[in-house]
């Protein structure tokens, strides 16, 4: 029994030795596997964990983190620049990525990625890219050959308004940007150096600094009146933020100086917002902004037509011609001028609107002012009067006017034709007048006659040569007469309305046939009715 137990004990030890040996071999093989296996990343994060990198559409390689590719590019760009004599401008590429979700993923070695990036940069230089400076104004970009062209373009733009050449433009590095981005700094030409601190107004555009303003106004202490002010431009800048960026571009994209400046300063349609003011109407807004009324309606969906109702503070879209590169400038100026006061009116409720009397003749005034005016290009944005001396007070013209709408007159019957006009004539019958005081309208007997204007009947009956006749006095002091009537339907003292039936036509009195004699008197004097009433 002892022999058999020893045998089993020996077998167990051999089995253990074999098992340990297998484990050691497996560990040794695994170690060799990891030593000689190409770089592999183990991923546990959710989503994309390997990215294929493209520079301007050219595949560069695979990385675990897109930011790592861009960091490598910066290093390559510095390395390229160090090996080039003079200024080295390398185009900034557009990086794009295609992500993958992998359990394990192979990525490219940094040196391989850098060599491909360097190869692409060198190839671009061989393909005819040229150093350039791109000037960005809002959404517009123009590129010129040199930084001096860019600077001169900006300086000449403000020079259109700064005719005394008081200011100059410098290009300085924007310290808030990692890339080499330049921004304009406008300084007073008399300082001889750039300002210590730029006050970048109007969305980051260059402007005059406070220290320069103090320099310009020196020497006025103790002065009074007009001598207390220094005249000229005190502040100037651009309405948009401007950036000048170094780049390498194809020759076709680099403009000559004059073409580039024309593109930035030529008039273009720019959308703006107009806020409705109290008292505004669409027609007044159209005149104010210089746009056709139908164009304003077309640009604003909330407007149905030219008669649409608008409200105070409503914002309307308008387009105005304006250059991309606009200059905002402030000027202190002295102005002496003759001026008139607006006409004053006295309203008389007992007069008709066609009556007016001048109660006071006007007299022009004269004054001198010092004003601070801010403009965008040539358009005045605001004006503040700093000082004023009145040489002569103005006197306003005063007019008294009526407020009542005067009566109107209509043809006193329907149809008919004029058979005898107003004025000199040959007597139609014996004893008839050779000067006709009215107008004869030929019409059949019995035609309805109505009041030409509302008023009071002052006579209704037989009137000799008039035959049956009606006189009506009107509120404006005029009188109408209707003669040769066959019937009368009104009586003296009766008030009649315009168009009310008052009689029927006929041929009574001294008459050659059926007609209506219509007469109009002003101040008791007969006048030609055709000058006041449409009888046709």
Residues 6+ apart with CB under 8 A from 234: 208, 213, 216, 330, 331, 332, 372
Q: How many CB atoms lie within 10 A of CB 393?
A: 10
DSSP string, 412-431: SSSS-EEEE-SEE---SSTT
- Sequence-distant (≥ 6) Cβ neighbours of residue 298 within 8 angstroms: none
Cα angle 225-219-158, degrees, rounded to a multiple of 5: 90
Q: Which of 141, 63, 45, 151 is nearest to 99 (CA)?
A: 63
Q: Say which residue the tokens 């009145």 belong to.
A: 390
Alpha carbon of residue 304 to chain centroid: 20
Give percent above pLDDT 90 in the chain: 43
What digits encode the pLDDT tens for the residues 56-100?
Answer: 888 999 998 999 999 999 898 888 877 765 545 566 788 899 988
CA distance 133 to 243: 10
Domains of the chain, first to last:
50-127 (no CATH), 133-255 (no CATH), 270-321 (3.10.350.10), 328-404 (2.20.230.10), 417-531 (2.70.70.10)
Give me 321's structure tokens.
Answer: 């011609």
Distance of CA 222 to the CA centre of its chain: 44
HSE-up (13 A, CA, CB side) for residue 104: 7
SS (H, E, C) 354-376: CCEEEEECCECEEEEEEEEEEEE
C-alpha distances out from residue 272 to 316, 317, 376, 496, Å: 8, 6, 14, 58
Give me the residues paired with residue 455 across strands: 496
Whole-number Å distance between alpha carbons of 456 and 493: 6
In the chain, % helix, strand, coil (3-state, to 5) comes to 25, 40, 35
What pLDDT is recorded for position 342?
A: 92
Distance CA 317, CA 145 (A): 38
Mean pLDDT, rounded, of the chain: 82
Contact call for residues 369 and 335 (beta carbons, < 8 A): yes
Sheet with 181-188, side-by-side order of all strands: 140-144, 129-137, 242-250, 181-188, 167-173
* 6-20, 146-160, 288-302, 336-350: least confidently modelled range: 6-20
Average the pLDDT over each of 31-40, 422-431, 452-461 and give the range with the smallest value. 31-40
* Maximum mean pLDDT: which of 80-94, 180-194, 423-437, 522-536: 522-536
What pLDDT score does 323 carry?
75
**Where does residue 18 rank: exposed (0-12), middle (13-18), buried (19+ CB within 10 A)?**
exposed
- Are the CB atoms for 77 and 90 separated by under 8 Å? yes
pLDDT over threshold 80, residue 190: no
Residues composing the chain: 536
Q: What span, in angstroms and rounded, lies between the C-alpha atoms of 124 and 425?
A: 102
pLDDT level of residue 286 (50, 70, 90 thresholds): confident
Q: Average pLDDT, stretch 182-196?
A: 69
Quote the tokens at residue 474.
Answer: 């009107």
In a 13 Å sphere around the CA of 85, the CA atoms on its Cβ side amount to 0
What pLDDT score was predicted for residue 430?
Answer: 63
pLDDT number for residue 138:
78
Q: What is the pLDDT of residues 120-159, one digit of tens each?
A: 888 776 666 677 889 998 778 889 999 999 999 999 999 9
Which tokens hold the place of 11?
A: 């077998």
């Amino acid at each position: 029994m002892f022999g058999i137990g020893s045998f089993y004990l020996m077998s167990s030890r051999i089995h253990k030795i074999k098992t340990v040996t297998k484990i050691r071999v497996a560990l040794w093989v695994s170690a060799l596997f990891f030593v000689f296996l190409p770089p592999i990343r183990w991923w546990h994060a959710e989503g994309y964990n390997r990215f294929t990198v493209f520079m301007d559409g050219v595949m560069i390689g695979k990385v675990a983190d897109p930011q790592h590719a861009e960091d490598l590019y910066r290093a390559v760009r510095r390395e390229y620049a160090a090996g080039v004599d003079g200024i080295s401008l390398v185009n900034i590429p557009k990086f794009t990525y295609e992500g993958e979700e992998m359990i394990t993923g192979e990525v490219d070695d940094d040196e391989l990625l850098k060599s491909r990036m360097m190869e692409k940069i060198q190839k671009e230089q061989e393909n005819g890219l040229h150093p350039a400076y791109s000037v960005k104004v809002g959404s517009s970009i123009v590129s010129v050959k040199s930084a001096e062209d860019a600077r001169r373009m900006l300086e000449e733009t403000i020079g259109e308004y700064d005719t005394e050449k008081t200011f100059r433009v410098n290009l300085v590095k924007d310290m808030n940007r990692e890339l080499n981005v330049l921004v304009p700094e406008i300084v007073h030409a008399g300082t001889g150096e750039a300002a210590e601190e730029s006050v970048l107004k109007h969305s980051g555009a260059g402007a005059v600094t406070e220290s320069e303003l103090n320099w310009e106004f020196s020497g006025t202490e103790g002065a009074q009146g007009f001598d207390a002010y220094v005249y000229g431009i005190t502040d100037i800048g651009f309405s948009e933020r401007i950036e000048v960026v170094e780049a390498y571009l194809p020759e076709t994209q680099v403009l000559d100086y004059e073409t580039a400046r024309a593109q930035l300063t030529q008039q273009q349609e720019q959308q703006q917002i107009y806020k409705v003011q109290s008292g505004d109407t669409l027609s007044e807004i159209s005149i104010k902004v210089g746009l056709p009324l139908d164009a304003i309606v077309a640009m604003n969906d909330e407007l149905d037509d030219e008669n649409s109702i608008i409200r105070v503070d409503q914002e309307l879209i308008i387009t105005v011609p304006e250059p991309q590169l606009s200059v905002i400038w402030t000027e202190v100026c002295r102005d002496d001028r003759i001026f008139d006061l607006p006409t004053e009116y006295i309203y008389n409720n007992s007069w008709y609107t066609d009556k007016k009397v001048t109660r006071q003749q006007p007299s022009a005034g004269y004054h001198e002012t010092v004003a601070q005016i801010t403009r965008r290009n040539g358009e005045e944005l605001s004006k503040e009067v700093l000082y004023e001396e009145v040489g002569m007070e103005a006197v306003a013209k005063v007019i008294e006017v009526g407020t009542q709408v005067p009566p109107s007159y209509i043809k006193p019957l329907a149809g008919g034709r004029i058979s005898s006009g107003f004025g000199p004539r040959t007597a139609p019958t014996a004893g008839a007048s050779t000067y006709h005081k009215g107008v004869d309208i030929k019409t059949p007997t019995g035609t309805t006659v109505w009041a030409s204007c509302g008023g009071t009947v002052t006579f209704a009956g037989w009137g000799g040569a008039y035959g049956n006749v009606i006189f009506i006095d009107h509120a404006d002091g005029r009188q109408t007469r209707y003669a040769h009537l066959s019937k009368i339907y009104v009586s003296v003292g009766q008030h009649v309305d315009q168009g009310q039936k008052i009689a029927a036509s006929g041929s009574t009195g001294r008459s050659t046939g059926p007609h209506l004699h219509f007469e109009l008197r002003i101040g008791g004097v007969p006048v030609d009715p055709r000058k006041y009433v449409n009888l046709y």
